[in-house]
A and B are shown apart, each in its own frame.
Chain A
């Protein structure tokens, strides 16, 4: 069979300037003025890569981000206003729902602030249990971050692995508090419940097997050419910039500033645990990934130490004005019943004053600022939201990068909109 070459005329019928019929060639002519014009792209609020309901309006020159303007507030739920109408113990269920990726450490943060305000010293067992709660939260929060970020950058498998580990922690949380996600673990002056039988063994088993998953994720991602290519040198912030933008947590440490609230303003006896503050070098997305991965290892270490030293004893302070009496006593003892009634109906009263306690949440420094006028409800409950402040550096980080890098940068901030918008 002989070959023939056919010349196709790429043209379409049209008219010329005088109105006569002619053939218009179908060639891609550059539109005049396109090069100078900037394009606007709207991402969100309903977009799978914005980790919730963040909305980004991006001004593009070709594919390069000239300006990125985040619009927030699509999940503004009025937590702080609601807190002014609730007793201190009633606020704790609200704290679950701010940063819903790490509910337990939010509970701890609020309880610590309320206890500082009231001058309550918690028991040793409670202290260690709260450390366990915080570090479990850190692990599951970083796991969600790892899973969703890897989906954003095109790897689905780590998501499934990360969620397997999350499910194991969910089981532990469910054992302890009865809820998978919204735990409401702490009370002012103690905890809602002691850990059940078998919890320690199960958590110890978790700490022994969890590094294996981390090693698998590490093996799949860290030396992966696609992963490294999409993350290295992207969204770089120097240490000075990170400080000036008030970043905190892994974002700050990835830029090389070794500030960790657990080390530098210790709470819950963190100074007695042996762990390292993970510090990055370049301040890019890849370093943030490495920092978070290594923090999981460090959390695992803290969990093991906490399990080893877990003391016996009560979990609640011995103060009937703060802690509810046991149900059996409240039903049989007059005095206990009065305390029970007064606490449920009137709430725990705080002295006039104010307290700010910052704790190292997975996202950064979570501050709880309480102002009291002597009643059972705070005058002002302010959450210092780490991911809100971290996100405010996004326009700075995204400038000059490609649109696809913007997704990586946004993922690396590790936002959770419940906390950003509150």
Chain B
């Protein structure tokens, strides 16, 4: 019995116990199957896509982790791997691709640019794809080494194995907040898109 969720009531007398046992068994079976046969949808834009290709090629070979089939159509994909920077012009595209993917779906943000905008703190670049789509795993690096990406994929496996099929809240289709299509409130987007680290020395108007 590996994944007994802590919030559930586990007691020897109650019939809930059997239900919980059964649910855990189903969760374990489903999650293991899901985690070990992920179909990635490579949304490769820039440099990270080259490292993604290197990860798929002979030396690193992520087919070892059940990702043999790369789905180039979002309708047959489980994981959206956003490899590379995401300009504003591409924002509606990734949003649409994400919307087209069937549930359950996960997103890996590969690289500094996809996660935070990276060195491109300028007029053209989305400052982190989490302002557009929800992200499950961030892989840092510019670009991340293939080992880094593999580690991110394994982290995603771990996350998937911790999910529950009977938790209806988790796998709900995300609706935009308002008719403007934003998934976060504007203040939050402004806040997480603020310059950070070294770039705070550069003023917005400079």
Taking Cβ atoms with an 8 Å cutoff, the residues of A that contact B are 45-48, 52-53, 73-78, 81-82, 85, 93-94, 96-97, 100-101, 144, 159-160, 163-164, 166-167, 170, 180-182, 417-418, 421
Q: Which of A48, A53, A93, A182 has the most CB of B within 10 A?
A: A53
Question: 8 Å CB contacts to A: which residues of B19-51?
Answer: 42-47, 49-51
- In the complex, whether B18 has a CB less than 8 A from a CB of chain A is no
A422 nearest CB neighbor, chain B only: B124
Interface pair A97/B47, CB less than 8 Å apart: yes
Q: Which residues of A contact B58 (CB under 8 A)?
A: 160, 163-164, 167
Q: Which residues of B contact A48 (CB under 8 A)?
A: 42, 72
Interface pair A100/B57, CB less than 8 Å apart: no
Q: Which residues of B contact A85 (CB under 8 A)?
A: 202, 206
User: With A46-B97, A75-B85, A159-B57 in contact, do A181 and B47 touch (Cβ < 8 Å)?
Assistant: yes
CB distance from B111 to the nearest CB of A (A): 10
Q: Which residues of A contact B74 (CB under 8 A)?
A: 46
- In the complex, whether B182 has a CB less than 8 A from a CB of chain A is no
Interface pair B46/A75, CB less than 8 Å apart: yes
A52 nearest CB neighbor, chain B only: B45
- In the complex, whether B192 has a CB less than 8 A from a CB of chain A is no
Binary flags per residue of B79-96, CB closer than 8 Å to A gives 1, else 0: 000001101011001000
CB distance from A90 to the nearest CB of B (A): 9
Question: 8 Å CB contacts to A: which residues of B115-140?
Answer: 119-120, 122-125
User: With A52-B45, A101-B50, A182-B47 in contact, do A74 and B89 touch (Cβ < 8 Å)?
Assistant: yes
- In the complex, whether B183 has a CB less than 8 A from a CB of chain A is no
Interface pair A181/B206, CB less than 8 Å apart: no
Which of A52, A73, A78, A181 makes the CB contact (< 8 A) with B51? A181
- In the complex, whether B143 has a CB less than 8 A from a CB of chain A is yes
Which of A46, A78, A97, A164 makes the CB contact (< 8 A) with B122? A78
- In the complex, whether B54 has a CB less than 8 A from a CB of chain A is yes
Interface pair A45/B90, CB less than 8 Å apart: yes
A421 to B88 Cα, complex, angstroms: 13
Q: Which residues of A contact B143 (CB under 8 A)?
A: 181-182
Q: Which residues of A contact B145 (CB under 8 A)?
A: 180
- In the complex, whether B154 has a CB less than 8 A from a CB of chain A is no
B97 nearest CB neighbor, chain A only: A46
- In the complex, whether B53 has a CB less than 8 A from a CB of chain A is yes
A68 to B116 Cα, complex, angstroms: 35
A45 to B86 Cα, complex, angstroms: 12
CB distance from B115 to the nearest CB of A (A): 15
Interface pair B49/A76, CB less than 8 Å apart: no
CB distance from A291 to the nearest CB of B (A): 23
Interface pair B93/A74, CB less than 8 Å apart: yes
Interface pair B89/A160, CB less than 8 Å apart: no
A100 nearest CB neighbor, chain B only: B47
- In the complex, whether B142 has a CB less than 8 A from a CB of chain A is yes
CB distance from A127 to the nearest CB of B (A): 27
Question: 8 Å CB contacts to A: which residues of B64-88?
Answer: 72, 74, 84-85, 87
CB distance from A52 to the nearest CB of B (A): 7
Q: Which residues of A contact B206 (CB under 8 A)?
A: 85
B146 nearest CB neighbor, chain A only: A180
Q: Which residues of A contact B142 (CB under 8 A)?
A: 182
24 residue pairs A–B, Cβ–Cβ below 8 Å: A48-B42, A53-B45, A73-B87, A74-B90, A75-B46, A75-B85, A76-B87, A77-B87, A77-B120, A78-B122, A78-B125, A82-B120, A85-B206, A97-B119, A100-B50, A144-B53, A160-B58, A163-B57, A166-B54, A167-B54, A180-B54, A181-B47, A182-B143, A421-B87
User: With A78-B125, A163-B53 in contact, do A417 and B47 touch (Cβ < 8 Å)?
Assistant: no
A97 to B125 Cα, complex, angstroms: 14
User: With A76-B87, A77-B85 in contact, do A97 and B50 touch (Cβ < 8 Å)?
Assistant: no
- In the complex, whether B2 has a CB less than 8 A from a CB of chain A is no
Sorted nearest first, the 7 A-B pairs with minimum C-beta distance are A163-B57, A100-B47, A78-B124, A78-B122, A160-B58, A48-B72, A74-B90
Q: Which residues of B contact A181 (CB under 8 A)?
A: 47, 50-51, 143
CB distance from B178 to the nearest CB of A (A): 26
A93 to B198 Cα, complex, angstroms: 15
A354 to B46 Cα, complex, angstroms: 30
A52 to B86 Cα, complex, angstroms: 12
Q: Which of A94, A97, A101, A418 has the most CB of B within 10 A?
A: A97
